[in-house]
Amino acid sequence: MPEAGRQRLFFALWPGAGVRRRVSELARRHTPPRGRRVAESKLHLTLAFLGEADDELRCCAEAAAGVVGGEAFTLELDRIGHFRRARVLWLGAETAPPALAGLHARLIARLARDCGRPVETRRFRPHVTLARKVGRARPRSLDEPVAWPVTDFVLVASRLTPEGARYRIVRRWKLDGGQAPAVLPRGRLWDNRGL
């Protein structure tokens, strides 16, 4: 249980309703019977995981994200894969756009420099988790990729409950050329159910 004033935070790409519906349908079609599908309202692509964070780290992370910048882009989700050890079925891109790799690299570097967060050493493998507890799954390419127009990125607070994680979007940053709302006013919290 986190201490008062602390919360689990991560940066993510959060899909709009149309993309979420398409990804959720793919999860329904490709998850083996014993797998546990991720709820449609929780589908996202993690950019950087901060873990337990106090108010000081949250403020630092928000400031760092505010100067990261980047261009809006389209992410073509065209491949279903499986992380065997983690037992996760995922949807990702055969080739991630340079704008996504750049956004991730700038965000990680800025968090390390400004907030003292360690730089991620694992290779960035952008994906949306479709299902958990999947023992086996055959990787495959999709005949009809999901085109995800990425116009912003978000900071998300995660709270673990007996029913699973609950996510709340804390703040949003628009990418250049995107049509998403700019940064949310301080103190205003969005629940992902309304997106």
**What are the residue numbers of the active site?**
44, 127
**Torsion over CA of 29, 162, 156 and 149, rounded to 10 degrees?**
10
| H or E element at residue 28 | helix 17-30
User: Which runs of consecutive H residues, i.e. helices, occur in 31-128?
Assistant: 55-68, 98-115
β-strand pairing of 36-37 with 164-174: unpaired
Q: Over the Cα atoms of the chain, what is R_g? A: 16
CA–CA distance, 155 with 99 (Å, rounded to integer)? 18
* Number of other residues whose CB lies within 10 A of the CB of residue 88: 19
Do the beta carbons of residue 78 and residue 93 sit within 8 Å? yes
CA–CA distance, 57 with 37 (Å, rounded to integer)? 32
